[in-house]
Amino acid sequence: MPRIAKFDRDKALEDAVRLFWERGYSGTSMKHIEKALDMRPGSLYATFGNKDGLFREALDIYTGRMSQSMTEALEAAPTVMDGLFGYLRALSEEITAPDSPARACLVVKTLLEVTHEQEELRGLVNRRLRAVEDHLTGLLEQARDQGELKPGVDSRRLARLVQAQIMGLRSLAQRDIDADSVKILTEDIIIALGAFTRDPATH
């Protein structure tokens, strides 16, 4: 009797992340999902509920990976700001890699395509972006307390600027633009953000 392959939920979610990232939420149909995950409709609904349920789990994995990348960059750096700049450089490498499903951020792509009729999904994405902003704010408050930033820098305001730069970098990279140009732009962003530090030349 042939052996039945065990369902790999983690692999299915990885495939879902890649699919949604490549095609976007609205551009991904149930047929696309069935093919990419190699699952029948009944199994999909039994495992993930529906397309929204699958997307929520895929989004959790995607945003968790973003947080992990930032954490690793911070742990490898001597200061918070060096860690953030290291993260930006690592991000530019990631989004220009040949095997990247897409250069633009999945969260931002979803925010731009959902309508006001999709309030639940829109709220979910906004909460994810707010969580990133809150995390950045906390890091920048730490940097300010440690004397890395100039006195009087508003950590929340700077966090929004950093987030806007990350979103913009990933959106620009979606254009037909070469990897070297993206990396040069990343260095320009770092120089601009360095104006908020006590000693820009050190970065």
In the block, residue with structure tokens 């770092």? 190
Inter-CA distances, 163 with 35, 44, 131, 154, 168, Å: 34, 35, 11, 14, 8
44-48 own/partner pairs: CB under 8 Å, 24+ apart: 47/7, 47/9, 47/12
Position 109: which residue type? K
Residue (of 49, 188, 73) closest to 136 by Cα position: 73
Residues 74-86 have a mean pLDDT of 96
Q: What was the pLDDT predicted at 176? A: 80
For 55-202, CATH gives 1.10.357.10
Lowest mean pLDDT among 58-67, 87-96, 108-117, 152-161: 108-117
- Residue appearing with tokens 């890395």: 148
Q: Where are the domains of the chain?
A: 55-202
123-161 pLDDT per residue, tens: 999 999 999 999 999 999 999 999 999 989 999 999 999
Statement: the pTM of the whole predicted model exceeds 0.95: no
Non-local CB neighbours of 138 within 8 Å, separated by 6+ positions: none
Supply the pLDDT for residue 131.
93
Q: Indicate the angle between helix axes 30-37 and 41-48, nearest 10 degrees.
A: 90
